[in-house]
Chain A
Amino acid sequence: MAKTDLAKAMAELDEELVVAGVTEQLAGDVPAIDVLAQLQQGMEQVGKLYEAGDYYLSELIMSADVFSTAAELLGSALTADGASKKLGTMVLGTVKDDIHDIGKNIVATILNCNGFQVVDLGVDVPISDFVAAIKTHKPQVVGMCCLLTTAFDVMKATVAAVKMADSSVTILVGGGPVDASVCKYVGADKYCRNAYDAVAAIRKAVGVN
């Protein structure tokens, strides 16, 4: 029986075929890490389709859902294969006084699917929590988001505190009202329009093609 083209099924968001393919390959003793690699190839294709304007947020959300379902099937086999090794780490959070998390959660999922570790601090994150997380997790990148314009000042203060704690980290910002001018105002390194901007930025920061 021909092996399911998992990357293609993933890119086409065919959940049934992805589940069947993962199950089939695990039963055929394909190492979990190889199965994961195929899924990630599919997610890379999703990213390309998104960048090309063929996929939208709707497809990103669905792709993350399909990927999560497949990753659950891999379960403990993945850890045993050593697949938990990540390409890099990002500390991510919605800044203090802002509780919005939809965009942040999408960024976290897409980064995870692309092989990065995300330390998600949640929403309404105090400056001290960002600083503590940097000390604990030693990330290459810190991501901050907000949906409220009233959070710009606290974002600015958070950026300053993070830079003070570790001047080597790359700081990315995003969210509804955030644009290049806000990025400049808060002193961050880069404004990300979407989750794939964040993927590109973290790849650059950690030196992965």
Chain B
Amino acid sequence: MKTAQQLLKERTERLRKTIAFEKTDRAPVFLNGDAFFAKHVGMKLSEFCATMKASHKAILDSFKDFGDVDGTGSTFATATMFPLMFYTRIKLPGRELPGDTLWQLDEREMMTVADYDTILNKGWKDFSYDYLKNRLGIDLDSLVAQLTDVPQFKKNFEAAGYVVYSPSASITVNEFLSGGRSFPKFMRDLFKMPDKVEAVLDVILEETLADFRQQIRAVKPLVVFISPARGASQFYSPKLWERFVWKYLKATAEMVIEEGAVADLHIDGNWERDLEYFKTLPRQKCIFELDGATNIYKSREVLGDHMCIKGDVPAALLALSTPDEVYNYSAKLVKDLGPGFILASGCTIPPNATDENVKAMIAAATGK
């Protein structure tokens, strides 16, 4: 029987080879999830969200029931961190919501057009700190204190033999504004004051990329998660997408690659129109992470061996279908898309996915 360290080495190597389109013994399978694990271990979501430590323990305990999985997308619940990514409030179980209800972003216009001028005049960081603390009422001190445990969370997973897929993560800068302004208001701003929005995004990009670069240098991750969250082609006309999404996604990915890591592009929604753009990123230095909305076969057809693909077992399939249906869907992906394919749920495993369906997905990769 292999030790945890042997398993970790084997799984890390499997991931590394898959990204480079080298032959492997089997497709890697990663579990990306949060609330699903709380349900799996019988923990109320209010307890799960109470501290990062509590959610970490639940995810790690839960993993032991799922056998030969290569690794995890996250080591703790990121719900309380969402306001720092989307610049909007969140409703949490046990706080604004009943104790076992899933957390949800409470998106409304919290950032004003006048804030654009403040950001241009004072810079992003000054504005950001004041906005998060005083306007959204986020307890930044508590979050920062809890984040000091994150390196240990990674060690705990690795000690159990699991790869922590992306210990560093970032969102593309347009999401700060689309969340803070609210998506509809942000869209209107793109028509009514495009030059100003672009100038603001340039300021935010410069400041955030400098910090993110330092973080990558400190952590030295194999893979860095980048979420363009709501940047899907389906939402934007080509000109707007190129100017307000692609420009910033490309800059972030290129910085990650420059620092020697692989950029995991979390492609939620339908990006099919713009697949060709991704071929301009360095070859085999990115992972195209799909959620079932972008056609995964079309993605492979366009991207070829330029980019590893990860995904895309849909949330509805994991929640509503039978294990056989999940297995067949997943096994087909493994057969058709490998090498250069990582099996995973689309986005995250939904909380109401059944254990049997998640196990069926894993079995499609491991053959067990």
Interface residues of A (CB under 8 A from B): 13, 55-59, 61-62, 65, 97-100, 102, 105-106, 147-150, 152-153, 177-179, 181-182, 185
Contact B352 A55 (CB under 8 A): no
Chain A residues near B314 (CB-CB < 8 A) = 177, 179
Measured CA separation A152–B353 after assembly (Å): 12
Partner of B107 from A56, A102, A148, A149 at Cβ < 8 Å: A102
Q: Which residue of the partner chain A has the closest CB to B244?
A: A58
Chain A residues near B107 (CB-CB < 8 A) = 100, 102
Chain A residues near B350 (CB-CB < 8 A) = 148-150, 177
Contact B191 A56 (CB under 8 A): no
Contact B315 A149 (CB under 8 A): yes
Q: Which residue of the partner chain B has the closest CB to A184?
A: B320
Interface residues of B (CB under 8 A from A): 91, 98, 101-102, 104-107, 182-184, 187-188, 190-191, 233-237, 240, 314-317, 319-321, 350-353
Partner of B236 from A56, A98, A152, A185 at Cβ < 8 Å: A56
Contact A179 B316 (CB under 8 A): yes
Contact A105 B320 (CB under 8 A): no
Partner of B234 from A56, A59, A178, A185 at Cβ < 8 Å: A56
Chain A residues near B351 (CB-CB < 8 A) = 149-150
Given the interface pairs A55-B237, A148-B104, A150-B352, the reply to whether A61 lies near B188 with Cβ below 8 Å is yes
Given the interface pairs A102-B184, A149-B316, the reply to whether A58 lies near B235 with Cβ below 8 Å is yes
Q: Which residue of the partner chain A has the closest CB to B183?
A: A102
* 13 A-B contacts (beta carbon < 8 Å): A55-B237, A56-B234, A56-B235, A58-B190, A99-B91, A99-B106, A102-B184, A148-B104, A149-B316, A150-B352, A177-B315, A181-B321, A182-B316
Contact B234 A57 (CB under 8 A): yes
Chain B residues near A97 (CB-CB < 8 A) = 98, 101-102
Given the interface pairs A62-B187, A98-B104, the reply to whether A152 lies near B237 with Cβ below 8 Å is no
Q: Which residue of the partner chain A has the closest CB to B318?
A: A149
| Sample of 19 further A-B pairs with CB below 8 A, known A56-B237, A100-B107, A179-B316 | A56-B235, A56-B236, A57-B187, A58-B190, A58-B237, A61-B184, A62-B187, A62-B188, A99-B91, A99-B104, A102-B182, A148-B350, A149-B351, A150-B102, A150-B352, A152-B352, A153-B352, A177-B350, A182-B320
Q: Which residue of the partner chain B has the closest CB to A186?
A: B320
Chain B residues near A185 (CB-CB < 8 A) = 320
Contact A57 B101 (CB under 8 A): no
Measured CA separation A28–B182 after assembly (Å): 38
How far is the CB of B254 from the nearest CB of chain A, in Å? 25
Chain A residues near B240 (CB-CB < 8 A) = 56, 58
Measured CA separation A181–B320 after assembly (Å): 9
Chain B residues near A102 (CB-CB < 8 A) = 107, 182-184
Q: Which residue of the partner chain A has the closest CB to B232?
A: A57
Measured CA separation A149–B102 after assembly (Å): 10
Contact A59 B104 (CB under 8 A): no
Chain A residues near B183 (CB-CB < 8 A) = 102
Chain A residues near B317 (CB-CB < 8 A) = 181
Contact A13 B191 (CB under 8 A): yes
Q: Which residue of the partner chain A has the closest CB to B182?
A: A102
How far is the CB of A150 from the nearest CB of chain B, in Å? 5
Q: Which residue of the partner chain B has the closest CB to A60?
A: B187
Measured CA separation A56–B271 after assembly (Å): 12
Measured CA separation A6–B106 after assembly (Å): 37
Q: Which residue of the partner chain B has the closest CB to A65?
A: B188
Q: Which residue of the partner chain B has the closest CB to A96?
A: B101
Residue among A56, A100, A102 with the highest chain B CB neighbour number at 10 A: A56
Measured CA separation A57–B236 after assembly (Å): 6
Contact B188 A148 (CB under 8 A): no
Q: Which residue of the partner chain A has the closest CB to B269?
A: A176
Q: Which residue of the partner chain B has the closest CB to A149?
A: B350
Measured CA separation A99–B106 after assembly (Å): 7
Contact A152 B104 (CB under 8 A): no
How far is the CB of A209 from the nearest CB of chain B, in Å? 28
Contact B319 A152 (CB under 8 A): yes
Q: Which residue of the partner chain B has the closest CB to A61?
A: B187
Residue among A61, A105, A147, A178 with the highest chain B CB neighbour number at 10 A: A61
